[in-house]
Structure 1
Amino acid sequence: MFLSPRSLPSRLPALLLALGLSGCGAIAALDDASTPLEIYELQTPPIQPSAARGSLELVVEPPIASGALSTERIMIRPAPLQAQYLPDVRWSDEAPAMLQTLLVRSLSETGAFASVGRAPLGAQGDYALLGELTDFQAQGAEGGAAVRIRIMLRLVRERDASVVAARTFEVTEPAADTETDTLVAAFDRGTSRILSEVLPWVVGATRGGA
Structure 2
Amino acid sequence: MRRKFRCILAVSLVSLLGACSILPESDPLIVYQLPAAHETVVPSFSGLSAKTLSVFTPYAGSFLDSNRIAVAPDGNRLSVYEGSRWNDFAPVVFRNRLIRDMRRISDLKAVDNERENLFADYQLRGDLVDFQVVYRNEQPTVVISFEASLVNSQSGRVIDSRHFSVAEPVDGSQVPEVVQAFGQASSRINHDIIQWVYRVAGK
Q: TM-score range by the shorter chain?
A: 0.7 to 0.9
2:108 aligns with: 113
Correspondent of 1:95 among 90, 93, 99: 90
Q: Does 1:42 align with 2:35?
A: yes
Correspondent of 2:74 among 75, 79, 93: 79
Q: Does 1:67 align with 2:62?
A: yes
5 Å-filtered alignment, 1:126-137, equals: 126-137=121-132
**Segments of 4+ moved more than 3 angstroms:** 6-29, 44-47, 50-53, 119-123
Asked if structure 2 preserves the Cα contact closer than 8 Å seen for 1:79 and 1:139, the reply is: yes
CA-based RMSD of the aligned residues comes to 3.1
1:171 aligns with: 166
What is the number of equivalent residue pairs in this alignment? 201
For 1:203, the aligned partner's letter is Y
> Which string of whole-angstrom CA distances, capped at 9 and with x for unpartnered residues, describes residues 148-172 of structure 1?
1111110010111110011110112
Asked if structure 2 preserves the Cα contact closer than 8 Å seen for 1:112 and 1:203, the reply is: no
Ranges in structure 2 where 5+ consecutive residues have no aligned partner: none
Task: Check 1:26–1:80 CA distance in 2 against 1; reply closer, same or farther (3 A cut).
Answer: farther
SS in 1 for 2:149: strand
Ranges in structure 1 where 5+ consecutive residues have no aligned partner: 1-5
Provide the C-alpha distance between the structure 2 equivalents of 1:120 and 1:86, rounded to a whole number of angstroms.
30
Task: Check 1:156–1:10 CA distance in 2 against 1; reply closer, same or farther (3 A cut).
Answer: same
What's the TM-score, normalizing by structure 1? Answer: 0.79
Asked if structure 1 preserves the Cα contact closer than 8 Å seen for 2:47 and 2:198, the reply is: no
1:140 aligns with: 135
For 1:118, the aligned partner's letter is N
Instruction: Tell me the CA shift for residue 181 of structure 1.
Output: 2.6
Task: Check 1:122–1:137 CA distance in 2 against 1; reply closer, same or farther (3 A cut).
Answer: closer
> Which string of whole-angstrom CA distances, capped at 9 and with x for unpartnered residues, describes residues 89-147 of structure 1?
22232211111111111112233311111148767211100021111111222142211
Asked if structure 2 preserves the Cα contact closer than 8 Å seen for 1:44 and 1:102, the reply is: no
